[in-house]
């Protein structure tokens, strides 16, 4: 096992290019569990915690560019008003100890369907910036997840940042777990509304092989909502929205919950999130 500790982003990319099997590590909240519990013995690690630019965020080209290494604690403290769904989700990640270390970059890299940050990124139509020695590219989050714990990254790429619009409208996130803190999602749901463009985005967590978007639900509710007068959607509309979100899920029975319950809970959360967004 080798341990690389690049001091600069360029050096990190060169290291990854030279050692494509090396596992990048930042907050360690996923990687270290695999290591400590002897689930995985990668040939090498690349420590990304020395690279200052990964922990920066700012506005560029009208979008927020958030470095992959910004922790959940900082997201809550610094970006809560600009990225409310992501901030609500960040607050549900583990404990203060985990939020002080864990990063959205890690969530994207692991690409677990249970990654708490992922449904909000889907709902907000964020883009992932991937980089290698041959350059950078942006991949829409909606195309990023290719299978269970698989993503669109090439072997020589690292996650630099994600790009997302500062919330143009209300956003919500809800997560079901079987205790009141410190829980991996049984299922989760994010909703982002854009009143200017009159579109809605959804994200579903822990209810399929990847984080999912409920496209039909997005389109349905974008058409149903009274964007002009902001009247409250009918119970039937809320219920239909919930049904469409549930229908978009592809859950299984596992140790955290049943497929039927996940569909049921997604419908409830979708209804509630929509009503909270609209009130």
Partner 1 sequence: MVLELRIETTVNGGRRVVEDVWEGESLLHVLRERFGLYGSKNACEQGECGSCSVYLDGALVCACLVLGGQANGRSVVTVEGLDGDRVQQSFVEAGAVQCGFCTPGLVVATHDLLHRVPHPTEEQIREALAGNVCRCTGYAKIIDAVNLAARR
Partner 2 sequence: MKVGESVRRPDGQAKVHGSFVYSSDLHVDGMLWGATVRSPHPHARILSIEAAAARAMPGVHAVLTHADVPGEKLYGLEIADQPVLAIDEVNYWGEAVALVAADHPEQARRAAAAVKVEYEVLPPVTRAEDGRVLRHVKIRHGDQSAHAEVVVRGDYEIGMQDQAPLGPESGLAIPDGAGGVDLHIATQWLHVDQQQLASILALPREKVRLTMAGIGGAFGSREDLSMQAHACLLAIRTGSPVKIAYSRPESFVGHVHRHPGTLVYEHGADRDGKLVYVKARILLDGGAYASSSTAVIANATCFSCGPYLMPNATIDGIVVYTNNPPCGAMRGFGSVQNCYAHEAQMDKLAAALGMDPVELRIKNALKTGDRLITGQIIDGPVPVAELLRRVRAFPEPAGDGLMPGGYSNTTHGEGVKRGVGYAAGFKNIGYSEGFDDYSTARVRLFVHEGRPRVEVHSAAAEVGQGVVMVQAQIAGSVLGVNDVVVLNADTGVGSAGSSSASRQTYITGGAVQAAAEAVRARVIELGESELGGELPVGNEAALATLLGDAVIEETREFRPRATHHLDPETGQSDAHMQFAFAAHRAIVDVDTELGLVKVVELTTAQDVGKAINPLAVEGQLEGGAAQGLGLAVMEEIQLKDGVIRNASFTDYLLPTMLDMPPVKMDILELGDPNSPYGLKGVGEPPTISSGPAIVAAIRAATGREIDRVPVRPHDLTL
Closest CB to partner 2 among 16 and 175?
175
Closest CB to partner 2 among 114 and 128?
114
The one of partner 2, partner 1, none whose footprint includes residue 31, by CB under 5 to 8 A per kind, is partner 1
Collapse the DSSP code of 116 into the 3-class scheme (helix H, G, I; strand E, B; otherwise coil) and give the result.
coil
Phi first, then psi: what are they for 95, rounded to 5°?
Answer: -120, 175
Q: How far is the CB of 74 from partner 2 (least distance, A)?
A: 17
Q: How many CB atoms lie within 10 A of CB 149?
A: 15
Q: How far is the CB of 243 from partner 1 (least distance, A)?
A: 34
The one of partner 1, partner 2, none whose footprint includes residue 177, by CB under 5 to 8 A per kind, is partner 2
Q: Beta strand 44-47 with 2-4: parallel, antiparallel or unpaired? A: parallel
**Residue (of 185, 170, 156, 250) closest to 212 by Cα position:** 250
Query: Which residues contact partner 2 (rule: CB under 8 A)?
Result: 33, 36-38, 88, 91-92, 172-184, 186, 255-258, 260-261, 264-265, 268-269, 272, 276
Dist CA 65 CA 45 (whole Å): 26
Q: How far is the CB of 34 from partner 1 (least distance, A)?
A: 9
Q: How far is the CB of 130 from partner 1 (least distance, A)?
A: 23
The one of partner 2, partner 1, none whose footprint includes residue 234, by CB under 5 to 8 A per kind, is none
Query: Which residues contact partner 1 (rule: CB under 8 A)?
Result: 1-3, 5, 25, 27-29, 31-33, 35-37, 41, 45, 47, 49, 73, 94-98, 100-101, 180-182
Q: How many CB atoms lie within 10 A of CB 76?
A: 18
Buried b (16+ CB within 10 A) or exposed e, 128-147: bbbbbeeeeeebebbebbee
Angle between helical axes of 72-79 and 84-91 (0-180°, round to 10)? 140
Closest CB to partner 1 among 76 and 199?
76
Closest CB to partner 1 among 2 and 234?
2
């Amino acid at each position: 096992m080798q341990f690389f500790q690049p001091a600069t982003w360029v050096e990190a990319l060169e290291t990854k290019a030279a050692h494509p099997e090396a596992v990048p590590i930042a907050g360690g909240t996923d990687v270290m569990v695999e290591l400590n519990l002897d689930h995985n013995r990668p040939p090498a690690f690349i420590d990304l915690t020395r690279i200052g630019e990964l922990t920066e965020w700012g506005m560029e080209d009208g979008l927020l560019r958030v470095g992959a290494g910004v922790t959940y604690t900082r997201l809550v403290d610094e970006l809560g008003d600009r990225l409310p769904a992501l901030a609500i989700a960040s607050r549900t990640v583990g404990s203060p100890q985990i939020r002080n270390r864990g990063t959205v970059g890690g969530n994207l890299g692991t690409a677990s369907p249970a990654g708490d940050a992922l449904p909000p990124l889907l709902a907000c139509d964020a883009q992932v910036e991937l980089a290698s020695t041959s350059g950078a590219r942006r991949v829409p989050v909606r195309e990023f997840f290719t299978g269970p714990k698989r993503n669109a990254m090439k072997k020589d790429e690292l996650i630099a940042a994600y790009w997302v619009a500062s919330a143009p409208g209300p956003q919500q996130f809800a997560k079901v777990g079987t205790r009141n803190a410190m829980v991996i999602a049984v299922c989760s749901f994010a909703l982002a509304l854009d009143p200017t463009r009159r579109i809605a985005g959804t994200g579903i967590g822990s209810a399929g092989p990847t984080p999912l978007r409920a496209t039909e639900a997005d389109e349905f509710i974008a058409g149903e909502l009274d964007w002009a007068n902001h009247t409250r959607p009918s119970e039937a509309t809320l219920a239909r929205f919930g049904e469409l979100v549930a229908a978009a899920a592809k859950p299984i029975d596992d140790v955290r919950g049943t497929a039927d319950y996940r569909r049921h809970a997604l419908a409830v959360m979708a209804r509630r999130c929509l009503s909270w967004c609209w009130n």
